[in-house]
Amino acid sequence: MAEHLSQSELDYPFKLLEYFNGFRISKAIFSACELGVFDLLLQSQKPMSAVEVAQKLGTSEDGVERLLDVLVAIEIVDVEVVQGTAFYSSTDVANQYLAKTSPKSLHDLIIYNSQTIYPLWNNLVDAVREGKNQNEKTFGLPSEEIFSAIYRSEEEMLKFMGLMNSTWVIDGHDIVTAFDLSNFKTVIDLGGCSGALARELAKEYPSSTVTVLDLPAVVQTAQRHFAQQDDTICFQEGDFFEGEIPPADLYILARIIHDWKEDKNLKLLKKIHAACPPGGGVLIAEALLFENRRGPTMVQMFSLNMLVQTEGKEHPPSHYTHLLTDAGFRDVQVCRTGKSYDAILALK
């Protein structure tokens, strides 16, 4: 590390101390979301004192004041001191991404990270030692049954689906526009969960028929909780690992490959290749590592999270190229979007 940090960092470890405190910053934001701080500040017609916030949220004045001051320090909340009293107000960033009511809200993603991912990461040492996920230690569920843990109750299923929905609300457009998909008239999003990515594709390519295929319980939950009045997408119950894959011009695998071991992924891709017509293809959305293993940091963190929660990991583009080629696909193209997730398109 020393050769990559400045001399000043060797004199005093400012950057290291910032890293050490990273979990505290995350948890402060998570807690503010869970308490409803950002929704309250957005709804308020004027800046609020800590006393007013505490009364509205049913918290201690001292505790909420300290939390608000942290949010000010990391520039998520604004403050103005008038005659010795601090008055807090929301920022544009908080209004857009942290309040529940925003169309681009990441609230569900934050709740999932706080209540599901955070407890799993408490067992990171064991995950590294054992080389397997920590669902059993964290939730008392077998490590082999990944989605039994993720979907262990209707509440947990909703949290996960909310996470996926938040993800594609902000990243979906970049995925569906990474390549020109207008020639694919029938599209099936395998494991499309809430339908958020499918909706982005349907909006961009209105002449295409877009279907989400997922497990029956997921489809039913999606239709109850995530359906939109102007929906043009369809839902179909099925299991793309165990059951048949319906015919389509294009299949989407978004954040699917990174959950599983290579042999299972190869079997799935061969199955998709067999169902795919000549000229058809598969679109993969995943977070791509650099080939030199030097980042991106967020993707390396995602890969560590896959160890803690699933059977899989994140990969560089060359891995997907080899995997798709081995499955029979050709003309593999990679597009780095510059956001959280990247796109890979391969044709039959």
From the number of C-beta atoms within 10 Å of its C-beta (0-12, 13-18, 19+), residue 163 rates as buried
- Active-site position among 4, 107, 225, 258: 258
SS3 69: helix
CA torsion sign for 168, 315, 238, 209 is positive
Instruction: Tell whether the model's pLDDT for residue 123 goes beyond 90.
Output: yes
Q: Considering only residues 5 and 341, tell me which one the structure prediction assigns the higher pLDDT.
A: 341
> Which pair of tokens denotes residue 184?
């694919």
Instruction: Tell whether the model's pLDDT for residue 146 goes beyond 70.
Output: yes
Q: How far apart are CA 170 and CA 167, in angstroms?
A: 6
Instruction: Tell whether the model's pLDDT for residue 201 goes beyond 90.
Output: yes
Q: Give the per-residue pLDDT at 203.
A: 97
Q: Give the per-residue pLDDT at 2.
A: 39
Q: What pTM value is reported for the model?
A: 0.95
Q: Give the per-residue pLDDT at 94.
A: 98
Instruction: Tell whether the model's pLDDT for residue 151 goes beyond 80.
Output: yes
* Mean pLDDT within 277-299: 97
Query: What number of residues does the chain have?
Result: 348
Q: Considering only residues 203 and 9, tell me which one the structure prediction assigns the higher pLDDT.
A: 203
Instruction: Tell whether the model's pLDDT for residue 266 goes beyond 90.
Output: yes
**Runs of H (alpha helix) within the chain:** 7-11, 14-20, 22-35, 37-43, 50-57, 61-73, 92-97, 107-112, 118-121, 124-130, 135-139, 146-150, 154-176, 196-204, 216-225, 262-275, 297-309, 317-326
Instruction: Tell whether the model's pLDDT for residue 4 goes beyond 90.
Output: no
Q: Give the per-residue pLDDT at 137.
A: 96
Q: Considering only residues 3 and 174, tell me which one the structure prediction assigns the higher pLDDT.
A: 174
Q: Give the per-residue pLDDT at 5.
A: 64
The mean pLDDT of the chain is: 96
Instruction: Tell whether the model's pLDDT for residue 179 goes beyond 70.
Output: yes
Instruction: Note if 4 is an active site residue.
Output: no
Provide the percentage of residues in the chain whose pLDDT is more than 90: 95
Q: Give the per-residue pLDDT at 1.
A: 41
Provide the percentage of residues in the chain whose pLDDT is more than 70: 99
Q: Give the per-residue pLDDT at 143.
A: 87
Instruction: Tell whether the model's pLDDT for residue 7 goes beyond 80.
Output: no
